[in-house]
Amino acid sequence: MENRFLPICREDMEARGWEQVDFVYVTGDAYVDHPSFGHAIITRILESHGYKIGIISQPDWKDKDSITIYGEPRLGFLVSGGNMDSMVNHYSVSKKRRANDAFTPGGVMGKRPDYATTVYCNLIRQTYKKTPIIIGGIEASLRRMAHYDYWSNKLKRSILLDSGADLISYGMGERSIVEIAEALDSGLAIEDITYIDGTVCKVKSLDSVYDAITLESWDELNADKLNYAKSFYKQYCNTDPFSGKRLVEPYSDHLYVVQNPPSKPLSQSEMDRVYSLPYMRTYHPCYEALGGVPAIEEVKYSLISNRGCFGGCSFCALTFHQGRIIQTRSHESLIAEAKKFIWDKDFKGYIHDVGGPTANFRAPACEKQQTKGACVNKQCLFPTPCKNMKVDHKDYLKLLRKLRELPNVKKVFIRSGIRFDYLIADKDDTFFRELCEHHVSGQLKVAPEHVADPVLQMMGKPENSVYQAFCKKYKQINEKLGKNQFLVPYLMSSHPGSTMKEAVALAEYLRDLGYMPEQVQDFYPTPSTISTCMYYTGVDPRTMKPVYVPKNPHEKAMQRALIQYRNPKNYELVLEALKIADRMDLVGFDKQCLIRPRQMKQNQNSYKPSNKADTKSPAPKKKKAIRNVHKKKR
């Protein structure tokens, strides 16, 4: 059968001789038929099982007719906000509107609504009152239970309730979406599909719900933030497909949200099949006149070799979405995909990436995980590597060597991130050496995130000494190779646990490194992460111990400014931060100082920052409160 895009309008449907589609897939992204896009994978899988799919991309949410172009689907609507949470897509951490949307033709912003999944579902319900609606994608997956919403600064109910959808397919969804389709195709009513792993449903009674853990009720969550911390940690401990239990979140005596255990991980042959489906590997040609879809540029010549991550960073939602068990594709599958693009007329000889959430994870952390799952109350790498963890880069190294030998390939880059603590734990330096020799082009990006151990502990990251050991070894290997290559560290400001003391320590590290990052990432409280739970509740849900959380916009601006202390625009903020941290020894002419003294035209309390949205100065009482908090911490 000739490869072609799936229908995007009624004319496409009729051209195929279809009178009706089985599913209408509504997405907040432009239609890109590439396996890096969730809508492409789900629709191609359903197609491979014989279902007829029509796609509605970025419908006009102000026009209810925009989702009726195919008429009523035979089995139901599938709805996703897109490859990113729509709120993260729209807003920076300072809640300022972003200028561009890489998942929209021409990069134009504003083609999808805020809280897109919920809005699309409500739009569908205006016309189709009873048609099944199944929601999925990152937005639905991470909002599947009650969650803290940073943008409205309040606790929100499960997205299943606010959207009016019938079912959530959470996680990656390949297994659950086929089971849902088969159940609907067999004539089963949507309200009776309550049993499929990897789904969340709503029920009026718990009579048919078995082997479940009951979470704190909606009323209890609203009554005390500590109840939310308890509930969140129960959810966190039940994200494994082998040991995870069914979870029940009560909303009333006649309404319960039930989360079934996660779907089992895909085998290597199943992963290979997913990526061998007949993707067109680009955006739909209807977008060409609009400038194409920018997001394709980063992935067009990249290879997804794995999914899942046992790194367990507190600020990352991968544990909730993809899980901690690594799933990989075979060398044959990856090479076959590479051969599809190395002869492309636009291919310049550079494979941009070979990886996944963490590039150098090519197998489960230990043998146990393949049958019994990841440990419930232990991490593989934090605070120190587990003695049962298998550290081995041989398979990844063989794969990279094969790719390097392909015709037309000049260089194979690794951009999805190397887990440096896993790499440094490998006693065999062969991969480290070949990484520096063949897969780095001048600089390697790594993510220590911070240098202060108290903050790293909250982040679930290794102690700073581990990163320093990695830096030392990286330098030694490059010197032996005769290469002058650098490390570019990703750093985060204002993470829970970071007082001004730790923020100054990070600035001192950058001073000693002689490096000032062009961009600084403020901690972004997105749904379903441990760090977001800390931000909202003020406690670490793993221990229930209080944790300091920088929330005041002015304090966050000071912590961010410290990382870029060399920027003259940040002078007043840096000076104020050093006063609060009682580190005026860093103001002077010595080489260890961060800034030089100068005659201030205005006192500290009358300071007017240049970026009002990001650094609005609090009232004098709030400033005093910030100082008092940090004095107590000292």
Rounded Cα distance between 78 and 136, Å, is 7
Q: Is the pLDDT of residue 612 over 60?
A: no
Helix (H) or strand (E) holding 323: none
Structure tokens at 40: 């492409």
Q: Report the CATH fold assignment for 301-428.
A: Transcription Regulator spoIIAA (3.30.750)
Spell out the CATH class of 10-202: alpha beta
What is the pLDDT, as a whole number, of residue 517?
83
Region(s) of the chain under CATH 3.40.50.280: 10-202
Structure tokens of 330? 């075979």
User: Where in the sequence of the chain do the CATH 3.30.750.210 domains occur?
Assistant: 301-428
Q: Which helix (H) or strand (E) holds 47?
A: helix 38-48
Q: Would you state the pLDDT for residue 202?
A: 97
CA nearest neighbour of 39 among 74, 67, 6: 6
pLDDT in tens, 112-145: 999 999 999 999 999 999 999 999 999 999 999 9
- Residue 623: what pLDDT? 57
253: pLDDT strictly greater than 90 = yes
In angstroms, rounded to a whole number, what is the distance separating the alpha carbons of residues 574 and 192? 59
Lowest-confidence range among 496-500, 524-528, 616-620?
616-620
- The CB-based long-range contact list for 563-567 (8 Å cut-off, 24+ gap) reads 563/491, 563/493, 563/503, 563/506, 563/507, 563/510, 563/516, 563/517, 563/520, 564/516, 564/517, 564/520, 565/507, 565/510, 565/511, 565/516, 565/594, 565/595, 566/516, 567/516
Task: Tell me the two tokens of residue 433.
Answer: 């050496």
Cα distance between residue 318 and residue 271, in whole Å: 18
| pLDDT band, very low/low/confident/very high, at 516 (cuts 50, 70, 90) | confident
Question: What confidence tier does 611 reach under pLDDT thresholds 50, 70, 90?
Answer: very low
Our CA dihedral for 505, 511, 516, 520, rounded to 10 degrees, sits at 0
- For range 445-458, the mean pLDDT: 95
Averaged pLDDT score across all residues of the chain: 93
361-376: per-residue pLDDT in tens?
999 999 999 899 999 9
pLDDT tens per residue across span 456-493: 999 999 999 999 999 999 999 999 999 999 998 999 99
CA-based nearest residue to 464, from 529, 416, 512, 398: 512
User: What is the rounded CA–CA span in Å between residue 24 and residue 26?
Assistant: 6
Q: What is the pLDDT of residues 175-223, one digit of tens each?
A: 999 999 999 999 999 999 999 999 999 999 999 899 999 999 999 999 9
